[in-house]
Chain A
Amino acid sequence: DVQLTQSPSSLPASVGDRVTITCRASQDIRSYLNWYKQKSGEAPDLLIAATPSLQSGVPSRFSGSGSGTDFTLTISSLQPDDSATYYCQQYQNYPWTFGLGTKVEVK
């Protein structure tokens, strides 16, 4: 299975901060990586598909980059509504796998 390692696991930050989350794959997954946002008690929500395609309705402060084994999700100016856990997910090889998540706390 493709292992996805996210860092950091938790990230306290202030409103307006630039936040970067990394996702490292255990093997080359080209650009076949998605990012999801999950707020507490809710289902995940797709943010970015096939890095770097931002989904419709997602604020432009979110961006994704990377290919191969190293990927990043960046929030250019953190907002209170961005408090959530963020997951990366690969679809290069079955079984599809997810990272363990990065919990972003807006201080």
Chain B
Amino acid sequence: QVQLQESGPGVVESSQTLSLTCIISGDSINSDVFYWSWIRQRPGEGLEWIGYVHYYGAPLYNPSLRGRPIISVDPSKTQFSLSLSSVTAADTAIYYCAREQQDLLTGSRAFNSWGRGTLVTVSS
């Protein structure tokens, strides 16, 4: 059974770059049905999809983040990462890494595995 674990600093200074890593265990990162994703949740708010990386394709990002995120995969370490540049207080959130799986027969897609999340606070 796949397990995902986020790691990274809990505090990032305003205007700096937030960097998080998600370590994958129990699964293969190089599958064509998996999209390795980052999702965040601001305190007391709902969920926001940041983007994903697919082993065989280009990453895709939420346009609302205005070109700030970069998601990359490191298959040799079975992990993927998020960098979010020029952070502000509005980026304070719990960041989740998640596996989105596509059903090749039906085309359905869903986030069926999640890390426990890591709180990142942007300090001024």
Chain A residues in the interface with B (C-beta under 8 A): 1, 32, 34, 36, 42-46, 49-50, 53, 55, 87, 89, 91, 94-101
Contact = CB atoms under 8 A, between A and B. Distances in A.
Given A43-B96, A44-B47, A99-B46, A91 B115 contact: no
16 contacts: A1-B64, A32-B108, A32-B109, A43-B96, A43-B114, A43-B115, A44-B47, A44-B96, A49-B108, A49-B110, A49-B112, A50-B103, A89-B47, A91-B110, A97-B49, A100-B46
B42 to A, nearest CB: 12
Interface string B77-106: 000000000000000000010100001001
A46 B117 CA distance: 15
Nearest to A34: B110
Interface string B46-64: 1111000000000011111
Contacts of A87: 46-47
B46 A45 contact: no
A55 B114 CA distance: 15
B63 A95 contact: yes
Main secondary structure of the interface of A (DSSP, over half): loop
Contacts of B110: 34, 46, 49-50, 89, 91
B112 A55 contact: yes
B62 A95 contact: yes
A97 B49 CA distance: 7
Interface of B: 45-49, 60-64, 96, 98, 103, 106, 108-112, 114-117
Given A87-B46, A97-B49, A34 B64 contact: no
Contacts of A97: 49
A44 B112 CA distance: 9
A50 B106 contact: yes
Given A50-B106, A95-B62, A95-B64, A44 B48 contact: no
Contact of A46 (B45, B60, B112): B112
Contacts of B48: 98
A29 B108 CA distance: 12
B22 to A, nearest CB: 12
